[in-house]
Amino acid sequence: MKHKVATTVNGRRHEHEVEARLLLVHYLRDVVGLTGTHVGCDTSQCGACTILVDGNAVKSCTMFAVQAEGKSLTTIEGMAKDGELHPLQQAFWDEHGLQCGYCTPGFIMAASYLLSQNPNPTEDEIRKGLEGNLCRCTGYVNIIKSVQSAAKAMNGSKAKAGEHSAAARRS
């Protein structure tokens, strides 16, 4: 028996009929056609499949598509805006936070959740916040640097936006 699922993926509405056993990650890759979300393991451990479900980081290999009914999903494809990389994507590029790149979408989505909860994490907090993601080739040093650099960039642009609006209020 098929079930109707309506989701919003990166701001776009989708409606499909799916089997109950379809995993959310396969729905994104094979039904919606967004292959940026990867599958790295069979044991819910690697985090390569991490996406945001209503803003919360979730391993999309450990949820069925039918459970996403009515939910808003963000994948790596939803991060860049108007042709500009998201600060996390830019930082992984600048700081060499990847080698093969297989784990990267998951790391970026997990890091984006971490920064939404804690915009200024310490190194320990970054390590703990990314404990659910495994990288087999870069090592974690540059990944942590990337998240630190993105946090700085994001806080900087927020501070700037704050200055602008303060200036606007003054004038």
Partner 1 sequence: MIPAAFEYAKASSVEEAVKLLGKYGEDAKVLAGGHSLIPLMRLRLAQPKALVDINGIKELDHIKEDGSKLRIGALTRHVTLQNSNVVKDKLPLLAEVAGEVGDNQVRNMGTIGGVVAHADAAGDYPTIALMLDAEIVTNRRTIAAKDFFTDIFTTPLEADEIVTEVVFPVANGPHKYIKFRRRLFDWAIVGAAAQKMNGGWRIGLTNVGSTPVRAKAVEEALQKGAKPEEAAQQASEGLNPSGDLRASPEYKKHLARVLTKRAIEQAG
Ligand X SMILES: Cc1cc2nc3c(=O)[nH]c(=O)nc-3n(C[C@H](O)[C@H](O)[C@H](O)COP(=O)(O)OP(=O)(O)OC[C@H]3O[C@@H](n4cnc5c(N)ncnc54)[C@H](O)[C@@H]3O)c2cc1C
Q: List the interface residues with ligand FES, window 88-127 (CB under 6 A).
A: 98-104
CA dist 145 to 23, 54, 88, Å?
Answer: 33, 27, 11
CA torsion angle for 38, 42, 44, 50 (degrees, to 10)?
10
String of DSSP letters for 91-113 = HHHHTT--SS-SSHHHHHHHHHH
User: Counting contacts by CB under 8 A, is residue 135 touching partner 1?
Assistant: no
The span from the CA of 48 to the CA of 70, in Å, is: 24
Residue nearest to ligand X (CB): 44
Q: Which is nearer to ligand FES, 44 or 116 (CB)?
A: 44
User: Counting contacts by CB under 8 A, is residue 76 touching partner 1?
Assistant: no
User: Counting contacts by CB under 6 A, is residue 142 touching ligand FES?
Assistant: no
Q: List the interface residues with ligand X, window 9-48 (CB under 6 A).
A: 44-45
Give the three-state DSSP class for 70: coil
Q: Which is nearer to ligand FES, 5 or 103 (CB)?
A: 103
Where does this chain bind ligand FES (CB under 6 A)?
39-41, 44-49, 59, 61, 98-104, 135-138
